[in-house]
């Protein structure tokens, strides 16, 4: 999973690991669990009901999408390099190796 939590939205890239993987259910559960925490700690913040999803079909598209997600805080003017942003990263993917090999600038 690659993630970037921005002040007003978030980006997640996740990959199913089995034939029964269910992206919609995963996003719904994520929004439910985090929505409960947010309503307790930041009641002014509410998740939108919908979300945007797409299928990434090859390594090149994955590399471009990872770069897009990580560069979101740079485009938003929050940092000058994605490494500086503390609310983005990866679970299960070595971003440095991945970006050097597949998504160089």
Q: Count other Cβ atoms within 10 Å, centred on residue 8.
A: 7
d(CA 62, CA 41): 34
Domain ranges of the chain: 2-102
| Contact between residue 66 and residue 98 where contact means Cβ atoms under 8 Å apart | yes
- CA neighbours within 13 Å on the CB side: how many for 86? 0
The percent helix, strand, coil of the chain (3-state, each to 5) is: 45, 10, 45
Model confidence pLDDT, tens digit, residues 13-72: 988 888 899 988 988 998 999 889 989 998 888 888 888 888 898 888 988 999 999 999
What's the residue count for the chain?
Answer: 105
The predicted model gives 80-94 an average pLDDT of 93
């Amino acid at each position: 999973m690659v993630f970037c939590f921005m002040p007003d939205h978030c980006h997640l890239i996740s990959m199913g690991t089995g034939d029964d993987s269910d992206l919609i259910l995963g996003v719904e559960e994520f929004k439910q669990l985090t929505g409960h925490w947010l309503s307790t700690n930041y009641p002014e913040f509410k998740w939108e009901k919908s979300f945007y999803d797409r299928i990434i079909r090859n390594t090149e598209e994955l590399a471009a999408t990872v770069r897009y997600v990580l560069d979101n805080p740079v485009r938003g003017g929050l940092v000058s390099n994605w490494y500086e942003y503390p609310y983005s990263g990866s679970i299960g993917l070595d971003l440095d190796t991945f970006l050097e090999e597949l998504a160089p600038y």
